[in-house]
Amino acid sequence: MEERQIKSRERVAERGEVFTAEREVNAMLDLVKQETERIDSRFLEPACGTGNFLVEILRRKLDVVLRQYKGQQAQVWLQSVIAISCIYGIDIMMDNVEECRQRLMEILCEWHPHALSGDEAPSDLQQVWQYLLERNILWGDALTLCEPVSENATFIEKRDAKPITFSEWSFISDMVVRKDYHLAALMQAQSQSVPDLFSDLGDKAYLPPKPVKEYKPVHYLKIATCYDTQQ
């Protein structure tokens, strides 16, 4: 089957939309191979398209889960949630966002039977995966760091565009803490390192910005039903 790299000539002309081929995706990810094979490493693709990079990152993470936890239901479920919670994407085209979410969901559903002796993923686990995809793969403009507005929008409408807001998911055993951050604040924080403060790997350390909202810890299987009810 021929690999699709464009959706239409019009989209190439208007948006410069050309998807990266699988061979190039794997070659680039191999440059950070150790990170792609760490279940809890975070990746953000600011122009994710239909998810060519994110799909391969998820596959690599799930391969690690399969090797380490095959047949262990509690760990298979938890680690799959951790893996997808660490994958983020933005695209300016809503149809790309929807297709990216769908592709990632299909990979999770197809992978689950291999990890647990042919069993399909239960509906509550699928609901958690879907919720995380809706929170992590967003419609947005990576140049303005806001939700897109029409080209004919007024100055006021452009000024008041909603900022792209991502959720950070932190796991403590089988409990999850969610914190929401504006992407602009995260990027600004990364550009300002703290003098004389370094990570365990020797990299310069950064202080995260204050979250716009922080939620109480919940069990990871209740992510989809509890968080949006918290005030």
Residues 6+ apart with CB under 8 A from 26: 56
Domains of the chain: total: 1
Token representation of residue 100: 């990216």
| Residue 1 is assigned to a structural domain of this protein | no
pLDDT more than 90, % of the chain: 65
| Residue 111 is assigned to a structural domain of this protein | yes
Integer Cα distance of 176 and 174 in angstroms:
7
pLDDT the model gives residue 10: 67
> Mean pLDDT, to the nearest integer, of 65-87?
97
Give 188-198 pLDDT, tens digit per residue. Answer: 876 555 555 55
Tell me the pLDDT of the chain averaged across its residues.
86
> Mean pLDDT, to the nearest integer, of 150-169?
84
- Nearest-CA neighbor of 60 among 37, 28, 81? 37
Show the domain range for 55.
9-229
| Residue 3 is assigned to a structural domain of this protein | no
> Mean pLDDT, to the nearest integer, of 163-168?
96
| Residue 2 is assigned to a structural domain of this protein | no
Q: Is the pLDDT of residue 136 over 80?
A: yes
Amino acid at 120: E
Q: Is the pLDDT of residue 71 over 70?
A: yes
Give the count of alpha carbons within 13 A of 192, CB side only.
Answer: 9
| Residue 91 is assigned to a structural domain of this protein | yes
| Residue 28 is assigned to a structural domain of this protein | yes
* 205 pLDDT tier (thresholds 50, 70, 90): low
Token representation of residue 209: 């910005």
pLDDT the model gives residue 40: 96
| Residue 161 is assigned to a structural domain of this protein | yes
Token match 């208007």: residue?
14
Q: Is the pLDDT of residue 2 over 50?
A: no
| Residue 134 is assigned to a structural domain of this protein | yes
Whether 215 and 166 have beta carbons less than 8 Å apart is answered as no
> Mean pLDDT, to the nearest integer, of 53-57?
96
User: Checking DSSP bridges between strand 204-206 and strand 165-172, what pairing results, if any?
Assistant: unpaired
Whether 79 and 69 have beta carbons less than 8 Å apart is answered as yes
Whether 106 and 58 have beta carbons less than 8 Å apart is answered as no
Integer Cα distance of 67 and 73 in angstroms:
13
> Mean pLDDT, to the nearest integer, of 152-164?
82
Q: At what angle do helices 123-136 and 94-115 cross, to 10 degrees?
A: 150
Q: Is 104 exposed, middle or buried (0-12, 13-18, 19+ CB in 10 A)?
A: buried
Cβ atoms within 10 Å of 25's Cβ, excluding its own: 17
* 157 pLDDT tier (thresholds 50, 70, 90): confident
Q: What is the pTM of this model?
A: 0.85
